[in-house]
Amino acid sequence: MKIIKLKIFSIFILMSLCFSLHRALAEEALTWSDCIRETKKNHPDLISAEESINQKKADKVITRSDLYPQVDVSADYSRIKTTTEKDSYSYGVSGSQLIFNGAKTLNDLKAASENIKAAQYSYRFVSSEVRYRLRSAFISLLKAQELMKITEEIARIRRDNLILITL
């Protein structure tokens, strides 16, 4: 009978040591704002959606460039060696300016602006999904922490009961 009590007592001691060690290792507590900050910085879906917004903004800048004058500059040099040496130089500058293209460029700019808005709405949607999943995981973590406290309390009570029984 004493051997069984000793085994039970040693199991409870071992369990409480495991709980204490686990608690000491997991001492760094993350708050909700810490979780949001880390997720915003590292979650691939959010990074992808943010880069999509940046890409749409760059596309709009490219589309807007059609409204500005276009300038081309070229230069060439060649040397021909036959019986005599001959150097040839050429250079050129050309420019063009869009005057009217049936309002295509303006409509492309409006479409680019709408694409930016669509990318921003997509980011908000992805962000809300990620925050929902993060909130669910955070709540599960809080529940698990509370269950750990309850389990530790139960282990303590059982250990105290074992000590009382052995007396």
Q: What local confidence, expressed as pLDDT, does residue 145 receive?
A: 87
pLDDT tens figures, 39-72: 899 999 999 999 999 999 999 999 999 889 999 9
- Token match 């282990």: residue? 155
Mean confidence (pLDDT) of the chain: 84
Q: What local confidence, expressed as pLDDT, does residue 9 receive?
A: 41
For residues 98, 99, 104, 105, the Cα torsion angle rounded to the nearest 10 degrees is 50
Sign of CA dihedral 13, 15, 17, 19: negative
- What are the structure tokens assigned to 117, written together? 């808005």
- Domain of residue 142 covers 2-166
- What are the structure tokens assigned to 70, written together? 């276009």
Q: What local confidence, expressed as pLDDT, does residue 87 receive?
A: 86
- Token match 């922490």: residue? 145
Q: Which residues lie closer than 8 Å to 16 by C-beta, 6 or more apart?
A: 152, 155, 156, 159
pLDDT tens figures, 82-131: 778 888 889 999 999 988 888 899 999 999 999 999 999 999 999 999 99
Assess contact for 100 and 47: CB atoms under 8 A: no
CATH of the domain at 62: 1.20.1600.10
- Token match 């000793």: residue? 6
Helix extents (H) in 66-166? 104-166
Q: What local confidence, expressed as pLDDT, does residue 92 receive?
A: 92
Global confidence as pTM: 0.64
Domain tally for the chain? Answer: 1
> 84 exposed, middle or buried (CB, 10 Å; 0-12, 13-18, 19+)?
exposed
Q: What local confidence, expressed as pLDDT, does residue 64 receive?
A: 92
Of the pLDDT bands very low, low, confident and very high (cuts 50, 70, 90), residue 17 is very low
